[in-house]
C-alpha cells in the first residue's frame, strides 16, 4: 500500500506461490488454458493492487488497450464459453477495486492524508455505482450477475475520480501519465489501420463466429469495420480521438523544461498520424467531433464567458435540431442517395458517408422529444421504443430515458449533467492561467466530446475503455486542482487567546520597595489630628 517501502516478504512469497500454482494449473487444465491463465492474472492483479497501488495502476493503464485481444485469443486454446469471458473482463474492475481499498487503508494508517474533497469524490463515485445498479435492476430485474456487470461497465470506473488525485500529484505527473497512455495505445491504432487494409485474421473470424460478440454483424453484412485490439469500432474510433487530444497536450505544452518533461515533437506528429488513421479506419463519423472540440477546448474552456457562449450555442442548436427533425427526415433520403453516388463502389467510402444511423436518431427526436404525448410521469416501461413499428421508436439516450422512465427522470438526468459540468468547469477555471489551466481545459474536452457524440449516436460511456478514458480525464482535472491546494500541515493555524498563566520561570519578580519609617502613615499609624 505504500510504494515507498520495500517489498513485503509475505507478499513476495504469496506471489511466487500463486505463480507456481498458475503454471501447474494452466498446464494440467482440461478447459481453456488462456481462461485459466486469466483467472490467475486476475488474482495476481488484485494482490499487486493491494500491495503496490502505483505500480498496479501503471500496469492497469497499459493493459487496458489489449484485454479484449486476449479474449479473442482464447479461441486458439479450445472452446470458449460465457463464463470464460468473466475471467478476462474481470481483471480491470478487480484491480481498480484493489487499488481503491489500498488507498483507503493507507489513509487510515496515516500514510497519506484524505481531504474533504477526496471524501466527496468517493461519495460521488458510490452514487454513480448505485445509479447504475438501479437502472440495471429496473431493466433486467434482480439478476446479480447482470447487475454487477452493468455496474462494472457503467458506474465503477467513476471511482477514478477518487483514485487518480491520490496517485497523480501535479502537472508533471499528469503529463507523464498522458505520455504513457499514448505510447500504450499507439500499437492499437496501427493495428486498426492494418486490420482495415488486410481484413480480419483467422482467429478473429473464429471468435466472431462464436456469437459472443455483437460484431458478428460484420460477417453477416460482409464488411470490415476495424476494431483492432478493442471490442468494437466505437471503442477504436473514440479511443483514438481521445489520444489525439492527449498528443496535442503533450506536443504543444509550452514549458516542457519547467515541467521536467520531454517528448520529441517529431514522434508526437507520427503518433498523431497513427491515431488519425485509426480514427478513420474505425469508420465512426461521430468520433470526429473530438477533433474540433479538442482543438478549440483550450480556448473555449479557459474563459467563463466563452464557456457560457459554447453551452448556449449547443443548447440552441440541439433544440433547433429537435424542432426540425420531421423536416430533416423528409430530406435525408435524398442526401443518402447523393452520398451513395459519391462513394461509388468503394466499401470504405460508403461506410464513411453512411447517414442511415443519423436517420434513426432523427426518428427518436421526432417520435419522442418533439412529441408531447411522450412526456409522462412514470414512462412506458423498458420494452418500449426498441422496435421500428413502435410509435416511440428511438435510438438516442435522452429519448430512451424519456420513454422508459418518464419526464421527471429525464429532467433529473439533465440537472445532474448540468451540476457535474458546473463542478468540472469551476475546477478548470479555478486553476491559474497557464499550462495547468490549458491542460485541464483540453482534458475536459474528451468527456465533453463523448457526451456530444452520445446524443448523436448513443451513449459511449458504457464501452470499455472509453469509460476508463473519460473518468481518467476527469480525475486528472481534479489532480491539477488538488495540487494547487496546500496541505493541512502547511496551512498556518488561526490565532487564538491563551488564558493559561505563563510558566513560573517567565514571571518577573516584584520590585522591592523601601520599608517605611516607624510611626509614618505608610507604616499603618494614623497621624494625630486636633479635635
pLDDT at 73 over 90: no
User: Which pLDDT value is given to residue 159?
Assistant: 92
User: Which pLDDT value is given to residue 17?
Assistant: 64
**Is residue 74 classed exposed, middle or buried when 0-12, 13-18 and 19+ CB atoms within 10 A define those classes?**
buried
Pick 35 or 276 by higher pLDDT: 276
Question: Which tens digit of pLDDT belongs to each residue from 219-259?
Answer: 766 777 888 899 888 899 999 999 999 998 888 765 545 45
Residue with cell 433529473: 412
Query: Model confidence at 183, in pLDDT bands (50, 70, 90)?
Result: very high
Query: Model confidence at 10, in pLDDT bands (50, 70, 90)?
Result: low
User: Which pLDDT value is given to residue 383?
Assistant: 76
User: Which pLDDT value is given to residue 509?
Assistant: 53
Question: Which tens digit of pLDDT belongs to each residue from 461-515?
Answer: 878 889 999 999 999 999 988 877 655 444 444 444 444 555 555 555 555 555 5
- Give the CA distances from residue 352 to residues 103, 166, 223, 282, 360, in Å, rounded to whole numbers and listed in that order: 45, 42, 12, 9, 17
CA dist., res. 226 & res. 216, Å (int)? 13
Residue with cell 501519465: 177
User: Which pLDDT value is given to residue 496?
Assistant: 45
Residue with cell 488474482: 43
Contact 148, 182 (CB under 8 A): no
User: Which pLDDT value is given to residue 167?
Assistant: 92
Report the pLDDT averaged over residues 321-330: 83
C-alpha cell at 237: 474510433
Pick 342 or 256 by higher pLDDT: 342
Q: Which of 249, 254, 301, 300 is nearest to 275 (CA)?
A: 249
Q: Which of 162-176, 217-231, 332-346, 356-370 has the lowest average pLDDT?
A: 332-346
Percent of the chain past pLDDT 70, that is, above it, reads 77
pLDDT at 169 over 80: yes
Q: Which residues contact 517 (CB under 8 A, 6 or more apart)?
A: 523
pLDDT at 528 over 70: no
Contact 462, 154 (CB under 8 A): yes
Pick 518 or 462 by higher pLDDT: 462
Per-residue burial over 310-339, b if 16 or more Cβ lie within 10 Å, else e, is beeeeeeebeebbeebeeeeeebeeeeeeb
Report the pLDDT averaged over residues 140-150: 74
Q: Which residues contact 65 (CB under 8 A, 6 or more apart)?
A: 184, 185, 187, 188, 229, 230, 239, 465
Report the pLDDT averaged over residues 268-284: 90
Report the pLDDT averaged over residues 154-179: 90
Report the pLDDT averaged over residues 349-376: 76
Percent of the chain past pLDDT 90, that is, above it, reads 18
CA dist., res. 16 & res. 189, Å (int)? 35
Query: Model confidence at 77, in pLDDT bands (50, 70, 90)?
Result: confident
Query: Per mean pLDDT, which of 29-38, 70-79, 144-153, 299-308 is the most reliable?
Result: 299-308
C-alpha cell at 494: 488561526
Question: Which tens digit of pLDDT belongs to each residue from 102-141?
Answer: 999 998 888 878 888 889 999 999 988 888 888 777 777 6
CA dist., res. 440 & res. 119, Å (int)? 21
Query: Model confidence at 96, in pLDDT bands (50, 70, 90)?
Result: very high
CA dist., res. 131 & res. 154, Å (int)? 9
pLDDT at 291 over 70: yes
CA dist., res. 408 & res. 375, Å (int)? 9
As a dihedral over the C-alpha atoms of residue 116, residue 119, residue 120, residue 124, rounded to 10 degrees, the angle is 170
Query: Model confidence at 355, in pLDDT bands (50, 70, 90)?
Result: low
User: Which pLDDT value is given to residue 432?
Assistant: 85
Pick 493 or 347 by higher pLDDT: 347
Q: Which of 169-178, 298-307, 489-498 has the lowest average pLDDT?
A: 489-498
Amino acid at each position: 500500500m505504500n510504494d515507498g517501502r520495500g517489498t513485503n516478504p509475505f507478499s513476495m512469497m504469496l506471489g511466487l506461490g500463486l505463480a507456481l500454482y498458475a503454471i501447474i494449473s494452466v498446464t494440467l487444465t482440461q478447459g481453456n488454458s488462456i481462461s485459466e491463465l486469466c483467472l490467475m492474472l486476475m488474482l495476481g492483479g488484485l494482490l499487486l493492487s493491494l500491495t503496490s497501488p502505483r505500480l498496479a495502476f501503471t500496469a492497469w493503464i497499459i493493459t487496458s488497450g489489449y484485454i479484449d485481444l486476449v479474449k479473442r485469443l482464447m479461441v486458439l486454446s479450445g472452446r470458449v464459453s460465457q463464463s470464460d469471458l468473466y475471467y478476462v473482463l474481470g481483471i480491470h474492475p478487480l484491480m481498480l477495486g484493489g487499488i481503491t481499498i489500498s488507498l483507503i487503508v493507507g489513509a487510515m494508517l496515516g500514510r497519506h492524508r484524505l481531504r474533504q474533497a477526496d471524501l466527496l469524490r468517493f461519495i460521488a463515485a458510490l452514487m454513480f455505482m448505485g445509479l447504475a445498479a438501479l437502472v440495471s435492476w429496473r431493466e433486467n430485474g434482480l439478476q446479480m450477475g447482470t447487475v454487477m456487470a452493468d455496474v462494472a461497465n457503467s458506474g465503477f470506473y467513476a471511482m477514478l475520480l477518487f483514485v487518480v488525485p491520490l496517485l497523480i500529484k501535479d502537472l508533471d505527473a499528469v503529463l507523464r501519465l498522458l505520455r504513457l497512455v499514448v505510447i500504450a495505445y499507439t500499437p492499437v491504432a496501427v493495428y486498426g489501420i492494418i486490420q482495415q487494409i488486410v481484413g480480419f485474421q483467422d482467429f478473429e473470424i473464429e471468435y466472431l463466429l462464436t456469437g459472443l460478440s455483437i460484431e458478428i454483424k460484420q460477417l453477416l453484412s460482409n464488411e470490415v469495420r476495424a476494431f483492432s485490439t478493442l471490442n468494437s469500432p466505437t471503442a477504436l474510433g473514440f479511443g483514438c480521438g481521445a489520444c489525439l487530444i492527449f498528443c496535442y497536450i503533450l506536443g504543444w505544452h509550452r514549458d516542457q523544461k519547467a515541467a521536467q518533461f520531454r517528448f520529441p515533437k517529431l514522434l508526437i506528429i507520427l503518433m498523431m498520424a497513427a491515431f488519425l488513421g485509426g480514427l478513420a479506419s474505425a469508420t465512426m463519423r461521430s468520433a470526429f467531433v473530438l477533433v474540433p472540440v479538442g482543438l478549440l477546448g483550450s480556448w473555449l474552456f479557459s474563459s467563463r464567458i466563452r464557456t457560457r457562449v459554447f453551452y448556449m450555442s449547443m443548447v440552441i442548436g440541439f433544440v433547433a435540431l429537435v424542432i426540425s427533425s420531421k423536416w430533416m427526415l423528409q430530406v435525408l433520403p435524398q442526401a443518402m442517395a447523393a452520398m451513395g453516388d459519391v462513394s461509388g463502389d468503394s466499401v470504405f467510402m460508403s461506410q464513411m458517408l453512411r447517414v442511415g444511423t443519423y436517420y434513426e436518431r432523427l426518428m427518436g427526436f421526432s417520435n419522442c422529444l418533439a412529441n408531447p404525448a411522450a412526456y409522462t410521469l412514470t414512462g412506458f416501461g423498458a420494452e418500449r421504443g426498441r422496435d421500428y413499428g413502435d410509435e416511440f421508436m428511438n435510438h438516442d439516450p435522452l429519448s430512451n430515458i424519456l420513454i422508459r422512465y418518464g419526464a421527471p427522470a429525464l429532467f433529473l438526468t439533465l440537472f445532474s449533467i448540468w451540476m457535474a459540468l458546473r463542478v468540472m468547469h469551476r475546477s478548470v477555471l479555478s486553476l491559474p492561467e497557464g499550462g495547468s489551466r490549458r491542460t485541464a481545459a483540453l482534458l475536459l474536452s474528451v468527456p465533453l466530446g463523448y457526451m456530444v457524440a452520445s446524443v448523436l449516436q448513443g451513449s459511449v460511456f458504457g464501452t470499455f475503455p472509453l469509460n476508463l478514458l473519460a473518468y481518467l480525464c476527469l480525475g486528472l482535472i481534479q489532480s491539477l486542482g488538488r495540487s494547487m491546494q496546500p496541505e493541512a500541515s502547511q496551512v498556518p493555524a488561526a490565532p487564538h487567546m491563551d488564558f493559561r498563566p505563563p510558566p513560573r520561570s517567565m514571571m518577573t519578580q516584584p520590585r522591592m520597595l523601601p520599608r517605611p519609617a516607624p510611626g509614618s502613615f505608610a507604616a499603618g499609624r494614623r497621624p494625630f489630628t486636633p479635635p
